[in-house]
Chain A
Amino acid sequence: MTQEQKGKTPVLDVQNLTKIYDNGGKGDGNEVLKNVNFTMNEGEFVCILGPSGCGKTTFLRCIGGFETFDGTVKVNGKEVTEPGTDRIMVFQDFNQLLPWKTVEKNVQYPLKIQGLKDKTKLREISDAALEKVDLLSSRTLYPHQLSGGMKQRVAIAKALALKPQIILMDEPFASLDAMTRNHLQEELMKLHQKEKVTVIFITHNIQEAVCLGTRILVMAKQGGIKMDVPNTIPKPVTPASEGYGQMWDMFNKALHQEG
Chain B
Amino acid sequence: MKNLRNQIVFIVAVLVVWQVVYQMGSFPELMFPSLGKIFQSLIKGFSRDGLGAMTLYSLSLIAKGLLIGIVLAFILSGLSIVSKTFYSIYHMVVSLCDLIPGVALLPLAILWMGIGEGTIILIVVHSIIWPMSRSIMDGFRAVPQIYIESGKNMGLGKLGLVTGIYIPASFSYILSGIRTGWARAWRGLISAEMIFGTTSSGAGIGWFIFMKRTNVDIAGVFAALLVIIAIGIVVEYGVFHTIEKMTLKKWGMSR
Contacts from A to B (Cβ < 8 Å)? 64, 66, 82-85, 87-89, 91, 93, 95-96, 98-100, 109-110, 113-114, 142-145
When chains A and B are docked, how far (Å) is the Cα of A79 from the Cα of B144?
Answer: 28
Which chain B residues border A66 with CB–CB below 8 Å?
Answer: 149, 152
Which chain B residues border A96 with CB–CB below 8 Å?
Answer: 146-147, 150
- Cβ of B5 within 8 Å of any chain A Cβ, yes or no, is no
Asked if A98 and B155 make an inter-chain contact with CB atoms under 8 angstroms apart, the answer reads: no
Contacts from B to A (Cβ < 8 Å)? 144, 146-147, 149-150, 152-156, 160, 164-165, 168-169, 171, 247, 250-253
Taking the closest CB of chain A, its distance from the CB of B135, in whole angstroms, is 18
Q: Which residue of B lies closest to A94 (CB)?
A: B146
Closest 3 CB pairs of A and B: A144-B252, A110-B154, A83-B152
- B interface SS class: helix
Asked if A89 and B253 make an inter-chain contact with CB atoms under 8 angstroms apart, the answer reads: no
How many A-B pairs fall under 8 Å by CB?
60
Asked if A89 and B251 make an inter-chain contact with CB atoms under 8 angstroms apart, the answer reads: no
When chains A and B are docked, how far (Å) is the Cα of A151 from the Cα of B168?
Answer: 19
Asked if A113 and B146 make an inter-chain contact with CB atoms under 8 angstroms apart, the answer reads: no
Pick the residue among B153, B168, B171 that contacts A89 (CB under 8 A). Answer: B153
Which chain B residues border A110 with CB–CB below 8 Å?
Answer: 153-155
Asked if B252 and A99 make an inter-chain contact with CB atoms under 8 angstroms apart, the answer reads: yes
Which chain A residues border B153 with CB–CB below 8 Å?
Answer: 64, 83-85, 87-89, 110
Q: Which residue of A lies closest to B152 (CB)?
A: A83
Pick the residue among A82, A87, A93, A143 that contacts B252 (CB under 8 A). Answer: A143
Taking the closest CB of chain A, its distance from the CB of B149, in whole angstroms, is 6
Supposing A91-B146, A95-B144, A100-B168 touch, asked if A82 and B251 sit within 8 A by C-beta, the answer is: no
Pick the residue among A82, A93, A100, A113 that contacts B253 (CB under 8 A). Answer: A100
Taking the closest CB of chain A, its distance from the CB of B178, in whole angstroms, is 17
When chains A and B are docked, how far (Å) is the Cα of A145 from the Cα of B253?
Answer: 12
Q: Which residue of A lies closest to B157 (CB)?
A: A113
Pick the residue among A95, A100, A113, A145 that contacts B154 (CB under 8 A). Answer: A113
Q: Which residue of B lies closest to A66 (CB)?
A: B149
Q: Which residue of A lies closest to B160 (CB)?
A: A113
Asked if B155 and A113 make an inter-chain contact with CB atoms under 8 angstroms apart, the answer reads: yes
Taking the closest CB of chain A, its distance from the CB of B8, in whole angstroms, is 32
